[in-house]
Homo-oligomer: A and B are copies of this chain.
Amino acid sequence: MMWRAMEVEQRKISRAVISRLPRYYRYLGDLLEAGVERISSNDLSKKMQVTASQIRQDLNNFGGFGQQGYGYNVKYLYTEIGKILGLDKDHNFIIIGAGNLGQALANYASFERNGFILKSLFDVNPRLEGVTIRGIPVRMLDELEGYLQENDIEIAALTLPKSKAEEVADVLVANGIKAIWNFAHTDLTLPKDVIVESVHLADSLMKLSYNISQHNEIQK
């Protein structure tokens, strides 16, 4: 019953800690690539511009990764955080919308290293029929339902205009998709057990703009 103990332990971890884990994972990956075997919380703190005590506190949530006077074992910590993030399992995914953004996502080969396996793209543009991106085919949107019934796909990235997004999301969910990575400029209304992670680019640009105007006010 080990996993149940683990589960209980994980559920207590705050959202704030969880939201910092991908960043830890990214930094540890860079260290690994650079051949670094261990790192103190102080050194990691300088690199990440987070206080050392924050790092110790965050990582203590997951048990004793660090050893006093030795620091953290980079590879071990990287692997364990990867497991918590679910990166030790493969996730098949598709991209709906093979325009520039869809193609940009399809070209991030590094997703594959983390277990996100792109299986197909879909689009309505007949000129994209039969085109492949890194060997991965673009199919026509009217093949989507049949495709989902025959293939085991967990995640769909939506890079569609917002007018189409809701309708396509419903088809995805009706055909077994469990998680949607949403780039459409809209919030999707979906059953509660569907996991949605939205990237609202316009919202992000507005935050930037807000910070510029605050900065300008202070300069006056």
Give the A interface residue count (CB, 8 A).
63
Report if A22 contacts B (CB, 8 A).
Answer: yes
Question: In the complex, are the beta carbons of B200 and A22 less than 8 A apart?
Answer: yes
**Minimum CB–CB distance for A134 against chain B, Å:** 12
* Chain A facing B: main interface SS: helix
- A residues contacting B by CB (< 8 A) are 3, 7, 10-11, 18-19, 21-23, 25-26, 48-49, 84-87, 89, 91, 99-101, 103-105, 107-108, 110-111, 114-116, 154-155, 178-179, 181, 185, 187, 189, 193, 195, 197, 199-215, 217-218, 220
Q: Would A85 and B195 be within 8 Å (CB), given that A99-B104, A100-B103, A203-B23 are in contact?
A: no
State whether A211 touches B195 (Cβ < 8 A).
yes
Check B154 against A206 for contact (C-beta < 8 Å). no
Residues from chain B with a CB closer than 8 A to the CB of A189 are: 49
